[in-house]
Amino acid sequence: MQPTQKSKRRFVPYKLISPAFLVVFTLSAYCLFWLISISMSSWRFGAPIESAAFVGLGNYKWLLFSKDSLFWVSLKTTTIYTLGTVTAQLLLGLLIALLFNRIRYGRALYTALLLIPMVLMPSMVGLVARMYFYDKGLVNYFVELIAGMRVNWASTNYALISAMLVDIWEYTPFFIVILSAGMQALPQDVYEAARMDGSGGAHLFFCITLPLLRPLIITALVLRLMESLRIFDVIYTMYAGGPGTATTTLPLLIYRQTMVAHNAGTGSAISILLILIIFVLSLVLMFMFERARKTLSEGEGQ
Amino acid sequence: MKRILSLCLAAMLLLGTLVGCAPKEVAPVGNEADISGYDLNDFDQWCEAMKKLYSGSSVTIAAASHPSTTAFRAISAEFTEKTGIEIVWDEMQEGSLQQKLLMEGGASAYDVVMTCPEFIPSQVEMGGLLELDDFINDKSLVPAWFDYEDLMEAYRLMLTYGGKQYAVPFAGETVFLMYRADVFEELNLTVPETMEQMRQTAMELKQLKPDSAGMSMRLQLGWEFCYMYSCFMFPFGGRFMDPETNKMDMNSNGNRDALEYINSLLPYGPAGIENYSFEEAWSAFMSGDALMMVEASAAAPEIENAEKSVAAGKTGYAKMPAGPAGAYSGVWGWGFGITSSSKNKDAAWAVIAYLTSKQKQNEYVANGGIVSRASMLMDEGEQAKYPYYSAIIETLEQAAALQAQGYGVVLPLPEWAGISDVVGTVGARALVGEISVDEALESMQSQTESMFAN
């Protein structure tokens, strides 16, 4: 009797999550199927779907190998954007979270204030930032006060940087909130033991805080990386991908190809490539997460 | 007279049955004879007649958010009051409008759609738009107070496809030169008449007034760059396509000269001009940061608005300067088309006739609408009030000269969206030096050619 009941029980969680899983999976699978089939056809958005011609991997070949394709240029821009913003956000977030943890009074108020940038609508942030970064805008006013000259933020060299600055401003609070919550949950006895052994300051941070926070940092990184790779609103409202193609990240390229140029086939092919990139990256990070968790629990076991 | 009228009416009704549409459904047969007593050339009687025929029906219009839409909405209440035809406005952003029309295809839920030169080819190919020539050629449907011929010819021509009219224009624009007349006088500069002179003047302005820029225009990647480029391309002898063979021709010396010319203006523009959308180009001129601007004539009312612009009352307007191959400019604008799936085609035509008529022109313009009729543009009193009217007429002649050769700043092809994006993206890349001008032209040619490969 008992073993069967036990094995029956083993399936309960699977049964319980199956409706949610089915809905999510079928919806995304259906869309993904369509996306893949359109990415293998030459279809002008707006023409009847019957006019789509099957071209196999032609769109992918053009994207990856044609000298007219903007895929690699765009991938480079996306990589710079994502690595730059997420690294800066993580470092700043860690630093501020450390300071944040020393605040004794009114932490809730500070947390609420910090969340404001994240609550704002990204496209509004972009529109306002566009004005701040005008030649005679607010940012240049301060730059001129300090450096004595204005920066042409809308030029090829600085457009991407200014968009990244806005992103960093908007999403650093995400890391601050998550990491400071994590720091508060850390076991205090470990610190006490380490202090008794004579370590302090930087040593405590690098040998205890950081390793213990690793799973949390990786989770936050996965979320931010995925979001950053899909960034659209801020860049689009600030620079629309220009000047030239200086701020054309992959999502902007997808939008331009599909909705502006009406090349649904090429646009879908870029989407698939972007999904693959995000998928592989998340796999790597989740693998790291699992490893970090394992080392932690092994450490606890000892 | 009566006999002629009733003949016309009979023709109209016959036509109505031929295109398989409204009168039968909205107006019972018994009503047909009823309007024969009305003089349709009389505005009030026309309204009465329409009331007899279509009262109680409703016409749904898909419109973009635009000053014209606001103006039409202001005058449409009176129309409903007079004719009993209800107008339902569905107003949305320009981009959403295009996507909606594309997705609806031939089965639109709207009766009337606001459309423009680049929408029409796709709409027609999908069977979404009704050919309007039958309406326009029917005298009883085009009464004297409507005066169709009075709509600027260049505006009417831009809304044709394959020689057929698909929309009635109500707002048009052309690209011309705006300059600060006060600064020109102060510095003793003359209004440039050639492209070379314009570059020279821009340079002098930048030298003599180092705090301001000599030239402003939209150059952001995509359609904005493409629009501006096409306005410079024809004066330099370039073109998108050979209208006789329908082969792409983007790699000629004329195209190269035009692209290089635009690039050579960059140093005289305001900081950041390489990514200017039209809004930023206009505001640079309106704030006094730029002293010359080549832009759409739609900017002129904004510039003359003293609340928004320091250039109000100080701006001169001139037609597009001539290039080595002649003086040409582009034309672009909005019109009303009737969907082929509409169940109220005749009532829809009545709405269009009323809103875009000469009779309502003054009211429409007073509410913020954009002038599109010769009678108003050429009226001396109006010209004294609006200093840019005469420049618009002259530039529209330049645009009509271009149309007469089979060219336009928009290619009437369903593939235009793709072509415009390629030209506008690759051109903008050359502008900031990501690629060379020659590479850009080659890329434009090969990419657009491949669109027609299959």
pLDDT of residue B33: 43
Quickly count: other Cβ atoms within 10 Å of residue A20's Cβ.
9
Contacts of A132 in chain B (CB under 8 A): none
Amino acid at A79: T
Cα A267 to its chain centre, rounded Å, is 21
Out of A252-256, B4-8, B397-401, the most confident range is A252-256
- Inform me whether the pLDDT recorded for A3 exceeds 90: no
- Upstream peptide bond of A215 is cis (omega within 30 degrees of 0): no
pLDDT tens digit string along A257-283? 998 899 999 999 999 999 999 999 989
Helix A122-132 and helix A138-147, axial crossing angle in degrees, nearest 10: 40
pLDDT of residue A139: 94
CB spacing of A240 vs B422 below 8 angstroms: no
Long-range contacts of A101-110 (CB under 8 A, 24+ apart): A101/A180, A101/A183, A101/A184
Amino acid at B108: S
- Inform me whether the pLDDT recorded for B29 exceeds 60: no
Q: Å from A59 to nearest chain B CA? A: 12
pLDDT tens digit string along B219-233? 999 999 999 999 999
pLDDT of residue A24: 86
pLDDT tens digit string along B396-448? 999 988 988 888 888 888 889 999 999 999 999 999 999 999 999 999 999 99
Q: Å from B434 to nearest chain A CA? A: 7
The residue count of chain A comes to 302
pLDDT tens digit string along B68-90? 999 999 999 999 999 999 999 99
Confirm if B61 and B112 have CB atoms less than 8 A apart: yes
Contacts of B432 in chain A (CB under 8 A): 155-156, 243-244, 246
Q: How many whole angstroms separate alpha carbon B299 and alpha carbon B302?
A: 5
DSSP codes, A117-148: HHHS-HHHHHHHHHHHTSTTSHHHHHHHHHHS
Pairing of strands B58-64, B86-92: parallel
B207 band by pLDDT with thresholds 50, 70 and 90: very high
Average pLDDT over residues A90-118: 88
pLDDT of residue B405: 87
- Inform me whether the pLDDT recorded for A81 exceeds 90: yes
Which residues contact residue A117 at a Cβ distance below 8 angstroms, ignoring those fewer than 6 apart? A125, A169, A170, A171, A172, A173
Confirm if A288 and A296 have CB atoms less than 8 A apart: no
- Inform me whether the pLDDT recorded for B104 exceeds 50: yes
Q: pLDDT > 70: what percent of chain A?
A: 97
- Inform me whether the pLDDT recorded for B30 exceeds 80: no
Q: Å from A170 to nearest chain B CA? A: 24
Q: How many whole angstroms separate alpha carbon B298 and alpha carbon B319?
A: 14
Q: Which residues of B172-210 are buried (b: 16+ CB within 10 A; e: fewer)?
A: bbbbbbbbbbebbeeeebebbeebeebbebbbebbeebe
3-state helix/strand/coil string of chain B: CHHHHHHHHHHHHHHHHHCCCCHHHHCCHHHHHHHHHCCCCCHHHHHHHHHHHHCCCEEEEEEECCHHHHHHHHHHHHHHHHHCCEEEEEEECHHHHHHHHHHHCCCCCCCEEEECCCCHHHHHHCCCECCCHHHHCCHHHCCCCCCHHHECHHHHHHCEECCEECCEEEEEEEEEEEEEHHHHHHHCCCCCCEHHHHHHHHHHHHHHCCCCECCECCCCCCHHHHHHHHHHHHHHCCCCEECCCCEECCCCHHHHHHHHHHHHHHHHCCCCHHHCCHHHHHHHHHCCCECEEEEECCHHHHHCCCCCCCCCCCEEEECCCEECCECCCCEEEEEEEEECCCCCHHHHHHHHHHHCCHHHHHHHHHCCCCCCEHHHHCCHHHHHHCCCHHHHHHHHHHHHHHHHCCCCCCCCCCCHHHHHHHHHHHHHHHHCCCCCHHHHHHHHHHHHHHHCCC
Contacts of B125 in chain A (CB under 8 A): 47
B25 band by pLDDT with thresholds 50, 70 and 90: very low
A152 in contact with chain B, both atoms CB, cutoff 8 A? yes
Partner residues linked to B115 by β-bridges: B335
Contacts of B104 in chain A (CB under 8 A): none
Mean pLDDT for all residues in chain A: 89
pLDDT of residue B3: 55
For A264, the closest chain B residue by CA position comes to B418
CB spacing of A46 vs B414 below 8 angstroms: yes
Please tell me whether the interface predicted TM-score (ipTM) of this complex is above 0.90.
Answer: no
pLDDT of residue B11: 53
Lowest mean pLDDT among A119-133, B31-45, B292-306: B31-45
A105 band by pLDDT with thresholds 50, 70 and 90: confident
Which of B111, B71, B115, B90 lies closest to B344 in space, CA to CA?
B111
- Inform me whether the pLDDT recorded for B197 exceeds 70: yes
For B427, the closest chain A residue by CA position comes to A244
SS3 A263: strand
Contacts of A261 in chain B (CB under 8 A): 417-418, 420-422
Q: Which residues of A31-46 are buried (b: 16+ CB within 10 A; e: fewer)?
A: eeeebeebbbbbbbbb
CB spacing of B221 vs A259 below 8 angstroms: no
Contacts of B414 in chain A (CB under 8 A): 44, 46-47
Q: How many whole angstroms separate alpha carbon B229 and alpha carbon B217?
A: 11
Mean pLDDT for all residues in chain B: 89
Q: How many whole angstroms separate alpha carbon B221 and alpha carbon B216?
A: 15
Cα B45 to its chain centre, rounded Å, is 32
Name the one residue in this structure whose structure tokens are 């505001």.
Answer: B283
Q: How many whole angstroms separate alpha carbon B230 and alpha carbon B239?
A: 8
pLDDT tens digit string along A182-224? 988 888 888 888 888 887 778 888 888 888 898 899 889 989 9
- Inform me whether the pLDDT recorded for B216 exceeds 90: yes
Q: Å from B86 to nearest chain A CA? A: 30
Average pLDDT over residues A239-247: 92
Residue A199, CB half-sphere, CA atoms under 13 Å: how many? 13
Amino acid at B240: F
Backbone angles phi, psi at A222, to 5 degrees: -60, -50
| B421, B426, B429 ranked by CB distance to A256: nearest | B421
CB spacing of B417 vs A261 below 8 angstroms: yes
- Inform me whether the pLDDT recorded for B145 exceeds 70: yes
Lowest mean pLDDT among A40-54, B115-129, B347-361, B409-423: A40-54
Partner residues linked to B293 by β-bridges: B178, B216
Q: Which of residues 249-278 of A touch B (CB under 8 A)?
A: 256, 259-263
Q: How many whole angstroms separate alpha carbon A76 and alpha carbon A81?
A: 8
CB spacing of B431 vs A150 below 8 angstroms: no
Which residues contact residue A241 at a Cβ distance below 8 angstroms, ignoring those fewer than 6 apart? A235, A247, A248, A249, A252, A253, A256, B221, B222
Which of B164, B89, B88, B118 lies closest to B412 in space, CA to CA?
B118
Can you give the pTM of this predicted structure? 0.85
Structure tokens at B138: 């029917």
Q: Å from A242 to nearest chain B CA? A: 6
pLDDT tens digit string along B365-374? 988 888 889 9
Contacts of B272 in chain A (CB under 8 A): 134-135, 152-155, 243
Average pLDDT over residues B323-341: 94
Q: Which of residues 281-300 of A touch B (CB under 8 A)?
A: none
Q: Which of B275, B416, B429 to mutate to test the interface with A (most CBs of A within 10 A)?
A: B275
Q: Å from A234 to nearest chain B CA? A: 16
Amino acid at A201: G
Using CB atoms within 10 Å of the CB of residue B323, give its burial: 0 to 12 exposed, 13 to 18 middle, 19+ buried.
buried
Q: Å from A243 to nearest chain B CA? A: 5
Give the count of Cβ contacts less than 8 A between chain A and B: 102
Confirm if A291 and A85 have CB atoms less than 8 A apart: no
pLDDT tens digit string along A277-288? 999 998 998 888
pLDDT of residue A292: 80
Q: Is the dihedral of CA B395, B397, B398, B404 positive or negative?
A: positive
pLDDT of residue B368: 85
- Inform me whether the pLDDT recorded for A300 exceeds 80: no
pLDDT of residue B21: 41
Structure tokens at B356: 């875009």
